Structure 1
Amino acid sequence: MWSSNLLKICGQIFDWITFLAKRSKLGIMQNRQEHTINNIGSSSEKLTAEEPLWLMSSCFISSDRQGVRLVTVDAAA
């Protein structure tokens, strides 16, 4: 009788450890997903906040028969 109670207790301890192991794996996966979502969100905010380079630049490089030259653009235009 004492040994059957001991086996029952050992089984319950094993079940509890298994439950905690599964729960910790789920917590790790949730944490990883939350960080990924936050990183994607901050990356998209940075991309939408920045103007494209050609809009920020007031000059560009032009090449023709005379060679390569730097052409400035009026920002008010």
Structure 2
Amino acid sequence: TRRNTHCSELLQLPICLENLLFSFFSSYLPACYNYQQPGCPFHFEPVCGSNGVTYINECVLCDTVRETRKKILIVKHGPC
């Protein structure tokens, strides 16, 4: 059965690579200019950051960008 599992994993590799490339090329910068005031609204509109972290909303992601001074893109709307 080990051989079948390995074969199955190899067959899924192209799908994994395709998803990774799509995520990389469809990522975009958050609109942090919309969130200049301190504090973020409490509305739940999750976004997935390029660092693999799900943020409650775009504002929280922007706060993290400002605090860490790291470039974090939005990979998709919704959880990672």
Q: TM-score range, shorter-chain basis?
A: 0.3 to 0.5
Point out the structure with max Rg over C-alpha. Answer: 1
Larger strand percent: 1
Larger helix percent: 1
- Choose between structure 1 and 2 for higher RCO, CA contacts under 8 A separated by at least 6 residues: 2
TM-score normalized by structure 2? 0.32
